[in-house]
Structure 1
Amino acid sequence: MGEIAGHARVVIIGGGVVGVSSLYHLAKAGWTDCVLLEKNELTAGSTWHAAGNVPTFSSSWSIMNMQRYSAELYRGLAAAVDYPMNYHVTGSVRLGHSQERLQEFRRVVGMGRYQGMDLDVLSPDEIKSRYPFAETHDLTGALYDPYDGDIDPAQLTQALAKGARDLGAKIYRFCPATGARRDKGEWVISTPKGEIRCEYVVNAAGYYAREVGKWFGRDMPMMVMSHQYMLFDEVPEVAAWTREVGHKLPLLRDVDSSYYLRQEKNGFNLGPYERNCKAHWVTPDDPMPEDFSFQLFPDDLERLEWYINDAVARVPLLGTAGLAKNINGPIPYTPDGNPLIGPMPGVPNAFEACVFTFGICQGGGAGKVLAEWVTGGETEWDMWSCDPRRFTGFCDPAYTVAKGMEVYGHEYAIHFPHHAWPAGRGMKLSPVHDKVAALSAQFGAYNGWERANWYARPGDDTSEEGTQTWRREGPWFEAVREECLAVRDAAGILDLPGFSRYRVKGAGAGEWLSTLITGALPKPGRIGLGYFADEGGRIVTEMSIMALGENDFFLITAATAQWHDFEWLEKHLPQATEITLADVTEDFACQILTGPKSRAILAEVSDADLGKPWLTHQSAKVGGHWCQLVRVSFAGELGWEIHSKVADTPAIFDAVMAAGASHGLRPFGMFALNSLRLEKGYRAWKGDLSTDYTVLQGGLDRFVKWDKPAFKGKQALLAERQRGVTKRFVTLIVEAGDCDAPYMSTLWHGDKVVGETTSGGWGHRIGKSIALGMLRTDLAEPGTALEVEIFGARFPAVVQEDAPLWDPANERLRA
């Protein structure tokens, strides 16, 4: 066996900052019987050549949490583990060239304030007071972050390693993992120094993570980019300024030009994210080497020429400095630029903590999150933004490379709510995609499925640029309004490919499902919503449960939830059982037909009993083809979901469209559906419904059957009910300006922050701006006046009755 331990509770593969942070946090949680394997020396991958920037900025709530935690951890780490570190908290100035960029900054200021950080937006005149060497004549303002800075990546990693070792964890350097196999319910990791058995394994192998993933049968959605930064010689003026004021310049980011500029000793470090970027190790003539430890790619400065010139124009002092060194190293990317942290899809007791584009600033928080996943099976913050299960099987290498390059080239881009990124499209198409496209559909991708977001009319601006705005009234607005009013007054049809569908059947299936949901199961022939809670009573997911028999169910859930929700069901299956669970997502398609004329339209083309009440389902024929007709409508009108076999869907779609022509039927898209569901207070997954909230906080009390003997989360919910619920789900009408409230907008009552929005938008049937959110319980009374902070400005809002804004008695739904 040599010098390696024969058994550990957890084995971490990879000794970069994320792997070592994971080991440290596991040990802090009391799991000291853990081992880390590193093929070379610690930091040999991306960590050793990382620039070491530590921003807290993010427009993602969960990633901001993770980065904020990292910065807090690093500020006290040297003292906590007794290891010296160079950590300069310099602050940063993030430049804005447009009003849209300033709106993004103001939104982040609000989010930061809610997390306890004091960020600030500077006017162009104030920028000079923070960064005297910058040209500001063409800027609209800047974001100032006092917590930003830079750290020595090697010292950070060694400090975390010392902390982990001091707590009893083991690190084996120059000991590569060479394979993994499953044996007797354990993982067996092979190394040149012998095998090590463990309960849990963590892939923290950085840009080698895809190779490690293959040992587990996993083709990971990741690729590798070449990223360069340049170190410049000392600049006398910078040295003199630093001596005079006693600290370094803040880190400067010109996000619209796409680079950062940092003081390095008394010189500069310039790091661009160039549009004309380069992927590595993606072609047969450029294979991934067996070992790239402590190595770099050849310099490729021609790619950076525009960015260097732009930076010199912004900070002319940079032009006086000589180039001392160029660093060109590999950085891994996922298709959305966020890392992979969490359960390895489809693999028992295996986790991922890898593909970090910003591993230094996220490493501390990532270790915390990973340790929570492993030790407790759940995390403090909802981490769907980083969950490996968010990418399902469509993410092939070509898609992953295309999206990775797109993300890198737009690293600092604003993510507008109505903008669809163009790379890697067309991965999954509805059986009526061409028919929908011919009707001028403007598409968005949902778990790879192309769905119509809206339908352009003659003369509508359909350019990508036209959607790059925070404003409500973009080129889609009037078209979406017409779609919503058609659903209100006549009928609309929405092609909805990609619903995740599971078949659960067999002896005991009903009893088992009942233990997983908080409420009651529907009777055969009925459909209902089921809410799944974790042991803390927090909302894991929502599924529509269609009962075909006492022990025969179809479960329908969000497209993006496909792997996540299937795994939740699978991991809770009893050991020895007759219950079968199958993912049948690819076998069916769906159309939503809804609106007051929908019954008349179906009557012309279907043999169904159209008098069956709301929340029922039936097998029927439409246009001569079998389908399952389900009497529900997420749009909040009389309507049906038409679930059909893929091959039959085009004929059914054609039959409905033809019958609907004389009834005012028109197609509608996802933007309209979002507006319609907000007016009904219907929740959206991973916005309004997430593990950031309990079932009771989410206002789902009516879906809790307290007299059931047992269900997952019951004890936590009973305890919460007894001590009192701290915040409550509310619907708000907002007197907004030209922007609706985005996710995680702050709610104010007087001078106190009292809650946050979970989604928002314009209700076209009621003609008002709506926000759904979570509010301090004592204020969650109808009529309470609040303010919603939208991009830095506060707008009056009023808490509404606990009933839908549209059709509060559901008379139209039940018609």
Structure 2
Amino acid sequence: MADFPTTARIVIIGGGVVGTSALYHLAKAGWSDCVLLEKNELTAGSTWHAAGNVPTFSTSWGVMNMQRYSTELYRGLSEAVDYPMNYHVTGSLRLAHSRERMQEFERAKGMGRYQGIDIEMLSPKEAQEMYPFMDLHDLKGVLYDPHDGDIDPSQLTQALAKGARDMGARIERFCPATGIRRDNGEWIVQTDKGDIRCEFVVNAAGYYAQKVGEWFKPFGGRTVPMMVMSHQYMLTDEIPEIEAWCKDTGNHKLPLLRDVDTSYYLRQEKTGLNLGPYERNCKAHWITPDDPFPEDFSFQLYPDDLDRLEWYIEDAMARVPLLGKTGISKVINGPIPYAPDGLPLIGPMPGVPNAFEACVFTFGIAQGGGAGKVLAEWITEGQTEWDMWSCDPRRYTDYTDTDYCIQKGMEVYGHEYAMHFPWHEWPAGRDKRLSPVHDRVKELGGVLGAYNGWERANWFAKPGDDTSEESTHTWNREGPWSARIREECEAVRDACGVLDLPGFTRLWVQGAGADDWLRGFVTGGLAKIGRINLVYVADARGRIVTEFSCIRLEEDSFVLITAATAQWHDGELVRNAVPEGVTVTETTTERDALLVAGPTSREVLAGLTDADLDMGWLTHQHCTVAGQKAFLVRVSFTGELGWEVHAENAAIPAIYEALLAAGAKPFGMYALNSLRIEKGYRAWKGDLSTDYSMLEGGLERFVKFDKPQEFTGKAALLAEKQQGRKKAFVTLIVDANEADAPYMSTLWHDGEIVGETTSGAWGYRVNASVALAMVRADLAVPGTEIEVEIYGERCRAVVQADAPLWDPENERLRG
């Protein structure tokens, strides 16, 4: 075809709301040399049958930002692109049946207020005034979001497409991509109409994203972690009472109703109702030979399957009796893609150069606007305004096999509106990565949690302790675990504890020039041979990208250790940056680590090792422990005298048993979290994220402005240093009651929002509730009193001195 494009800067595969939003935002950023390929007509996938609800509610900071942006974009989009759209901002009512649900709502309200969303808590009676057809049985309270509503998905997609075209971007309909290849550092996207050579490719293929993703495997890619669920919603006949209410009140629509404890939404559709349940007895599709993935499912639906919704329909009729007085006019049963945690994949495609993902959206209409913005920033700037780790494709690694994705997708769908309690571990898809002492840890009472697929003990139960899933359904600190966490913290404080910690990401960087490259890669300096230090990587804005423990073995030989969850993020970061001649070898899965900490840890180790245990803090050495080859590192994330014992997997069982026999008490991740927070030690993607600069994060001592090597973010940090930081990292002692401050608890001072917590826990050594936080810089003065909003309750908090709460002079640590 003569006018078919043969080149483009970016090719987007998929023409749903997310693909067109990405095209629109790229064009808006000045990157109009883009082509979107759609195998059928725009919206042919999940978009066309989507219900079109547009909530802002989320307890994920990044997702709330994204959804809030969508609502703001959609309100002005019709006028901005001159395209008519039906967007009804009706507000929504979320119903709470329990105190725990009220606490969740209060948390979301605090986060929403911080982002400028005027979310309110209502009494059931106040909610009934807004929705007079609702029965109030069993209700504790209601969350009202005035910005919620619904939009026509097809109109939204066409509006975004028109806006993109008007700015010079191109859309090719009825033009399926059929494959890709790599040539001379560029992508060739193949279609039946011809090939397109481009710099970047975006997989926005919706429920076909996994099939498209397979094309990238020869170039370093992986199978996209996803599965497909069938979601049904039903439309009723017109209801005269609703029509009369609209005329009498002058309102166009009732607020959208969500009974999240029962698990459905109920929305006015014309003058009828739209009921959409998320049922526990849900159904996955296209997962067996008898139900294969179709070549084309454009504008198609599954057969109705209302039997599995019977209980939900009955419950909804009891809540809104009008529903039981009308008939069903239409049932929509269509495919929706699900990632294992229910959140989308937005960002760099793991392992593949210049390839991105914007796919697997469960709530694509609500998130589409924000997703386009985020994806465009990733491509054009290499960074995003908000930290989007919650949606980054690299949050999953190679444990996400088909079985895992199916189990987790069904679990998430069946618990779509579930509360995510801090002590609760979801049971599906477990035991994907096991430590060498996994069975022994369980035998000792380990209650396990999954960390990048690795099973680690969160706490150790004793006989008679309640370890049921139901026991964890609380936001409060007290539970069967609390006494055990205290005992574990006290063991580390008073004697010696041992924590099995599989999954540390280990990157061995070596080769001529490694030293010079690393000095320019990180913001600070490097340790001497035989020592270890912390190093940080910043982005162009000076914001915190990641943290490494940097072990220097030789002049040009380093081991970079980072969080388990950072495996693909940090691995890619390093591999993409090293120069020719410098190699990166990963030993994450081949080795394990044991944390040995406490004032008697030297005595415990002394009878087991030939190491020099008098070597000082931040040193390392090769040695044997319990007759096994090991690598001993003199660091401790607990803030007590301690070592990390690294060894090959086969050596770990003998070392672990010897440590236990010598008196070390096993402790878990919950105790470690408490111990590290008392020391002010930061955790990745909580306290350390791209929402904060190095200076805001209190990490200026890890920035070496005078070194000859230029490093990313230097100019921005110098400017910030001159102008002054807007926020500052502080430790708070909180007068908390039943619950400690979760991530992103809002901080108040004199009636104004002044910051947020980044993590919080009870400190068992200091006997207080402790929070790490980012606060307005002028308030980061020891003794300043502020308030922390914890599940709706404002609690007094006091800014502490810069030194750690526990062992401020590090005397115990240096031991």
TM-score (norm 1): 0.99
Cα distance between partner residues in 1 of 2:464 and 2:53: 46
Q: Does 1:649 align with 2:657?
A: no
Gaps of 5+ in 2: none
Residue aligning to 2:243 = 239
User: Alpha-carbon deviations, 1:495-550, whole Å to 9, x = none?
Assistant: 00000001100000011011111111111110110111011100000010000001
Secondary structure of the residue aligned to 2:756 is: strand
- Residue 763 of structure 2 corresponds to 763
User: In the alignment, does 2:326 pair up with 1:355?
Assistant: no
Aligned AA (2:585): A
Partner-residue secondary structure (3-state), 2:480: coil
1:4 maps onto 2:4 in alignment: yes
In 1, the alpha carbon distance for the partners of 2:101 and 2:509 equals 48
> CA offsets per residue over residues 358-395 of structure 1, 9 Å max, x none?
00000000000000001011100000000000000110
2:738 is aligned to 738
Structure 1 counterpart of 2:590, from 587, 592, 601: 587
Provide the C-alpha distance between the structure 2 equivalents of 1:138 and 1:286, rounded to a whole number of angstroms: 41
Q: C-alpha separation between the residues in 2 aligned to 1:625 and 1:270? A: 62
- 1:132-162 alpha-carbon deviations (Å, 9 max, x no partner): 1111121100100000000000000000000
Distance in 2 (alpha carbons) for counterparts of 1:797 and 1:72: 34
| Letter in structure 2 aligned against 1:121 | M
**How far, CA to CA, are the matches of 2:571 and 2:270 in structure 1?**
52
2:326 is the alignment partner of 1:321: yes
Give the distance between the partners of 1:123 and 1:611, measured in 2 at CA: 64
- 2:469 paired with 1:464: yes
* Residue in structure 2 matched with residue 406 of structure 1 by the alignment: 411
- Report the Cα distance in structure 2 between the residues aligned to 1:522 and 1:57, rounded to whole angstroms: 46
Matches within 5 A, 1:323-722: 323-574=328-579, 577-660=580-663, 665-709=664-708, 710-722=710-722
The aligned runs of 1:134-173 (5 Å cut-off) are: 134-173=134-173
Partner of 1:303: 308
- How far did residue 738 of structure 1 move? 0.5
Kept after mapping to 2: 8 A contact 1:71/1:147: yes
Give the Cα–Cα distance (whole angstroms) in 1 for the partners of residues 353 and 592 of structure 2. Answer: 31
After superposition, give the CA deviation of every residue in 1:677-728 in whole Å (9 maximum; x if it has no partner): 0000000000000000000000001111111121121111111101111110
Counterpart of 1:226, as a letter, is S
Q: For 1:95 and 1:483, locate their aligned partners in 2 and report how far apart those are by CA, in whole Å.
A: 39
Opposite residue 336 of structure 1, the aligned amino acid is D
Unaligned regions of 5+ residues in structure 1, if any?
Answer: none
Q: Distance in 1 between matches of 2:645 and 2:246?
A: 68
Question: Aligned partners of 2:327, 2:747: CA distance in 1, in Å?
Answer: 50
Partners of 1:727 and 1:327 in 2: CA distance: 48
Who is 1:117 aligned against? 117
Distance 2:588 2:671 in 1: 24
- Pair 1:775-2:778 in alignment: no
1:68 equivalent in structure 2 = 68
1:459 Cα deviation from its structure 2 partner = 1.9
Query: What is the alpha-carbon distance in structure 1 between the residues aligned to residue 2 and residue 39 of structure 2?
Result: 16
TM-score scaled by length of structure 2: 0.99
Alpha-carbon distance in 1 for matches of 2:501, 2:112: 36
User: Does residue 79 of structure 2 align to residue 79 of structure 1?
Assistant: yes
| SS state at 2:607 partner | helix
Q: Distance in 1 between matches of 2:325 and 2:638?
A: 62
Are residue 98 (structure 1) and residue 98 (structure 2) matched?
Answer: yes
Q: Distance in 2 between matches of 1:455 and 1:126?
A: 46
> What do the CA deviations read for 1:448-471 (whole angstroms, capped 9, x no partner)?
000000001222110000011000
Q: 2:158 corresponds to which letter in structure 1?
A: Q
- Residue in 1 that maps onto 2:214: 214
Tell me, yes or no, if the aligned pair for 1:124 and 1:137 is still in contact at 8 Å: no
Aligned residue for 1:229? 233
Alpha-carbon distance in 1 for matches of 2:591, 2:643: 16
Aligned equivalents of 1:646 and 1:654: distance in 2? Answer: 14
Q: Secondary structure at the match of 2:314?
A: helix
Distance (whole Å) between structure 2 residues aligned to residue 131 and residue 449 of structure 1: 47
Could you give the per-residue CA deviations for residues 32-72 of structure 1, whole angstroms, max 9, x where no partner exists? 10000000000000000000000000000000000000000
Alpha-carbon distance between aligned partners in 1 of 2:130 and 2:642, rounded to the nearest angstrom: 58
d(CA) in 2 for partners of 1:719 and 1:608?
Answer: 46
Helix, strand or coil at the partner of 1:585: coil
SS at match of 2:589: helix
Contact 1:127 / 1:136 at 8 angstroms: preserved in 2? no
Deviations 1:100-134 (A, max 9, x none): 00000001111000001100011122121121111
Could you tell me which amino acid in structure 1 is paired with residue 458 of structure 2? Answer: N
User: What is the aligned length?
Assistant: 809
Give 1:3 deviation, angstroms.
3.2
- 1:284 is displaced (CA, Å) by 1.1
C-alpha RMSD of matched pairs (Å): 0.6
Q: Tell me which amino acid in the other structure corresponds to 1:245.
A: T
The code of the aligned residue for 2:621 comes to Q
- Cα displacement (A) at 1:2: 4.1
The CA distance in 2 between the partners of 1:623 and 1:37, in whole Å, is 61
Q: Work out the CA distance in 1 between the residues paired with 2:794 and 2:614.
A: 48
1:792 Cα deviation from its structure 2 partner: 1.1
CA deviations on 1:244-299 (whole Å, 9 max, x unpaired) are 11220000000000000000000000000000000000111111110000000010
CA apart distance, 1:311? 0.3
Q: Contact 1:785 / 1:799 at 8 angstroms: preserved in 2?
A: yes
CA contact (8 A) 1:3 1:193 kept: no
Q: How far apart in 2 are the matches of 1:402 and 1:96?
A: 28
AA at the equivalent of 1:623: A
- Cα deviation code 1:141-192 (max 9, x no counterpart): 0100000000000000000000000000000000000000110111000101
For 1:430 and 1:186, the matched residues in 2 are separated by 41
**Structure 1 moving runs of 4+ over 6 Å:** none
Where 1:336 maps in the other structure, the secondary structure is: coil
User: Within 2, Cα distance between the matches of 1:785 and 1:442?
Assistant: 38
Structure 2 CA distance, aligned partners of 1:135 and 1:72? 32
For each residue in 1:724-780, what CA deviation from the matched residue of structure 2 results, as whole angstroms up to 9, or x when unmatched?
111100000000111101111111111111111000110000110001010111110
Equivalent residues of 1:342, 1:351 under 8 A apart: yes
The 1-side partners of 2:529 and 2:649 are apart by: 25
Q: Equivalents in 2 of 1:502, 1:531: separation in Å?
A: 15
Separation (CA, whole Å) in 2 of partners of 1:468 and 1:542: 33
Match of 2:257 in 1: 252
2: distance between equivalents of 1:138 and 1:624?
A: 63
SS in 1 for 2:323: helix
Do the aligned partners of 1:2 and 1:193 also contact (CA within 8 Å) in 2? no
The 2-side partners of 1:321 and 1:642 are apart by 68
Farther-moved stretch of structure 1 (764-773 vs 577-586):
577-586
Percent of aligned positions that are identical: 70
